[in-house]
Amino acid sequence: MPEDPAEPAPPAASDWSAWKRLTRLAAKAQRQGFLANLLEDAERGRALRLPVGGVLFDFSRQKITPEVLGALLDLAKERHWVARREALFTGAPVNATEGRAALHTALRAPASRQPPAAGEVVVRSRQRLLDFAESIRRGDRTGHWGNALTHVVHIGIGGSQLGPQLVTEALGGTGQPLKPLYVANIDGQAIGAALAAVNPETTMFIIASKTFSTLETLANAAAARSWFLERTNCQDALPRHFFAATAKAEAAAEFGLPPDSIFPLWDWAGGRFSLWTSIGLPIALCLGETAFKALLAGAHAMDRHFQEAPAHDNAPLLAALIDIWNYNFLGIDQHLILPYDHRLRRLPAYLQQLITESNGKRTRRDGAEVGTHTAPAVWGGEGTNGQHAFHQMLHQGTRPFTADFILTARPQHGCNEQHRWLLANGIGQGEAMALGWRSDNPHQAAPGNHGTNTLVLDQLNPHNLGALLAFFEHRVFCQGIIWDINSFDQWGVEFGKRLAKRIYHQLGDGAALPQDDATRALVAHLKALNGKAENHDPSGQ
């Protein structure tokens, strides 16, 4: 890892000439007013605005000059991005540490464009899922007691929750036949709140877990099943009210689910790339088959763009290259996601997992240290709320950042005046971050010179949302190509799970295990507070 990230060492992999050119170009871009000068050049701006279907990708507020763009495109060539893209789409084992493909693109491809590695199982399973959801939406398929199902409790976490929740809350609107409730945390408050809000006779439960082994999800599923049986005292009712979306059908069967209550997904569909699979069942239930297919079609259209557009017109690639420029040459280590649309308030959390669980890595594909910084901190919040929370730091703080503003041009509500204010703020904030503002009073000046992207959806509909999410998936993949890392595994999370198991037993009656002083003192403190140990001094004396 380089001593000073602002002075990035060329990656250990090779003596990349483009990397060295970018290092030389970086110093100039840091000068005060650099971006303001760039923004006076309309010709330059036009080359950095890419309309792709119903979304405009505007990179013009980034510190990108023709020289920088040329070196970034050379960098992509040096990393053989075209061959890596081909490997992704054809089902090669791009997830080498798990020996798997990453074929999320097959999940939204029509039958005519299914790669052999996926086969026809994707299309067949997709239609079974949609037929099931439509039968419930129409009321043809009811609960055990003949009542229409009006609520769906979706039990899942991470990629098994964030995607469905983002999409149903973004596109759900009012008047949907089923109301979704999402339960992720192992904190009993979460499942308790959901169960308190539903009637067992009109509620279906989805256990969404690719591995069917995630602690939180299994604990919540067991709690839901116990609650259901206590309330109904009817074991025979379970198959009409409990369903699973999983790659481990045998584990779901052991839970007590019959085959036709189990909807498959596959090892080559990564968790954070899985909303397009049966993990997206709540989307089909709440929004219907037409919307689900439009979401897939939007993502597929972005897949085609990513596959076919030349590098200089390729939105996911360009966005990724600009990210590399920001993170590895301009010393930026935080990336804000700022959706200026209340319906996209969950987008920051979704992208936080997609980006940081994919690229929060320190090891290259060959096992060597990556040699430069990889994924930054990803956070954010809906606009305009953030302007009354953390934008102060962005405008007058000391730390560099970049951001994605996401705007929707046309509202679906009737408050056009308010929507105009929303858009004015979204555009204005990006302008202020780029240009700053002068004042004789140093307390009231802002330096600006912060580059940002602006993504404008013509409207928020399933097609455009699908395209937007696929754009981010491919952007993450392209970042990983440049860093030469595996964007599709997540070994760091497995380690954390093991630590919890040790401490869980010690918080109960388990024997004390050798461990560091801080952990030992905290375990003792909690046990004392929960009456499992006496004469305890909180200071750890």
**Annotated catalytic sites, by residue?**
357, 388, 497
Q: Which residue is nearest to ligand F6P (CB)?
A: 271
Which x/- pattern over 202-241 shows residues binding ligand F6P (rule: CB under 6 A)?
Answer: -------xxx--x--x------------------------
Q: Report whether 77 contacts 468 (CB < 8 A).
A: no
Residue with tokens 């069967």: 253
Residue of 323, 432, 311, 424 lying closest to 39 (CA atoms): 432
Query: Is the C-alpha dihedral spanning 446, 451, 457, 458 positive or negative?
Result: positive
Tokens read off for 246? 């999983």
Select from 85, 240, 272, 300 the one that contacts ligand F6P (CB under 6 A): 272
Please give the size of the binding site for ligand F6P, defined by CB under 6 A: 14
162-165 long-range Cβ contacts below 8 angstroms, 24+ apart: 162/272, 162/346, 162/349, 162/350, 162/353, 163/272, 163/274, 163/275, 163/279, 163/280, 163/350, 163/469, 164/208, 164/275, 164/279, 164/280, 164/281, 164/282, 164/283, 165/282, 165/346
Select from 8, 11, 159, 348 the one that contacts ligand F6P (CB under 6 A): 159
Q: Which is nearer to ligand F6P, 210 or 293 (CB)?
A: 210
Select from 60, 150, 160, 486 the one that contacts ligand F6P (CB under 6 A): 160
Hey, which residues does 336 pair with through a beta bridge?
Answer: 379, 403
Query: Is the C-alpha dihedral spanning 86, 89, 85, 293 positive or negative?
Result: positive
- Nearest approach in angstroms of CB 387 to ligand F6P is 31
Which x/- pattern over 452-491 shows residues binding ligand F6P (rule: CB under 6 A)?
Answer: --------------------------------------x-
Which x/- pattern over 139-158 shows residues binding ligand F6P (rule: CB under 6 A)?
Answer: ------------------xx
Q: Which is nearer to ligand F6P, 140 or 494 (CB)?
A: 494
Q: Which is nearer to ligand F6P, 443 or 498 (CB)?
A: 498
Cβ-based neighbour number of residue 494 at 10 Å:
9
Q: Which is nearer to ligand F6P, 95 or 211 (CB)?
A: 211
CA 526 to CA 513: how far, in whole Å?
Answer: 16
Instruction: Decide if residue 358 touches ligand F6P (CB under 6 A).
Output: no
Q: Report whether 252 contacts 246 (CB < 8 A).
A: yes
Instruction: Decide if residue 352 touches ligand F6P (CB under 6 A).
Output: no
Which x/- pattern over 385-414 shows residues binding ligand F6P (rule: CB under 6 A)?
Answer: ------------------------------
Residues that bind ligand F6P (CB under 6 A): 157-160, 209-211, 214, 217, 271-272, 357, 490, 493
